[in-house]
Structure 1
Amino acid sequence: MNPISLDSPFNTVNTPLKPQAVAVTPGEAQKQFKTMLSDALSEVNSLQNVSSKKTEDLALGKPVELHDVMITGQKASISLQATVEVRNKVVEAYQEIMRMQV
């Protein structure tokens, strides 16, 4: 096992934050966020569909490895749980902002 050296890319102790080179308008930021969120939800949906298909194939007796079915099922489950947690945090942050007095 190799130790992490001081010049390692994982060393962030004394690394200054780099400012963004290009300013992003609020409209562009909203579009980027929308695209990122849409892509993430599409990925979760894709994992759910793959899991359903493999489970169906196993139930129909098609040649599918049981461990593949279990792994894809767990991936889909974990991605869905993570998505729900992110949604909960976003709703919580929104509610906290709405409670702020200006």
Structure 2
Amino acid sequence: MSIGGIEAIGFTPLAAPVVSAPASPAAASGPGSDFGSMVLDGIERLEGVQDKADGLAVRAASGTLPNIHDYTLAATEAEVATKLTVAVRNKAIEAFSEIMRMQVG
């Protein structure tokens, strides 16, 4: 599954991660640490998008949200971001399973 097409249509549910170089070579424990931090950062940003949609849903239900379309947009963004995250997770699990089936030797 290619996720590059999402940016092509102008929709970016999650900002691109900012990757900075480690202070020293000893501070980096390898490529796994960068991937792990990117995954955690993406999950935190997804949670933020969902929290925003939840907050707007409460305001819409209580009648304090002046523009209902703000909630609609936030809910749709949260839905698409969640679906994208699940798709990436499924592909990662599929890749891991494939690696585990490989013959060694």
TM-score with structure 1 setting the length: 0.72
- Report percent identity of matched pairs: 30
Q: Is the 8 A contact 1:51 1:72 kept in 2?
A: yes
Q: Extract unaligned runs of 5+ from structure 1.
A: 1-23
Offset of residue 28 of structure 1: 2.6
Q: How far does the alpha carbon of each residue in 1:7-56 deviate from its partner, in whole angstroms, 9 at most, with x for none? A: xxxxxxxxxxxxxxxxx898231111111111100110000000000000
- In the alignment, structure 1 residue 76 sits paired with structure 2 residue 49: no
Letter in 2 for 1:50: K
Q: In 1, distance between residues paired with 2:101 and 2:72?
A: 43
DSSP-derived class of the 2:31 partner: helix
Which segments of structure 1 move beyond 6 Å, counting only runs of 4 or more? Answer: none
Task: Report which of the two structures shows the higher radius of gyration computed on alpha carbons.
Answer: 1
Which structure carries more relative contact order (alpha carbon 8 Å, separation 6+)?
2
Matched-pair contact (CA < 8 Å) for 1:54–1:64: no
Confirm whether residue 39 of structure 1 aligns to residue 41 of structure 2: yes
1:53 correspondence with 2:33 = no
How far is the alpha carbon of 1:72 from its aligned partner? Answer: 0.3
| Contact 1:47–1:72, Cα closer than 8 Å, also in 2 | yes
What is the CA deviation profile of residues 32-83 of structure 1, one whole-angstrom value per residue up to 9, with x for unaligned ones? 1111111100110000000000000000110331111000000000000000
Which residue number in structure 1 is paired with residue 101 of structure 2?
99
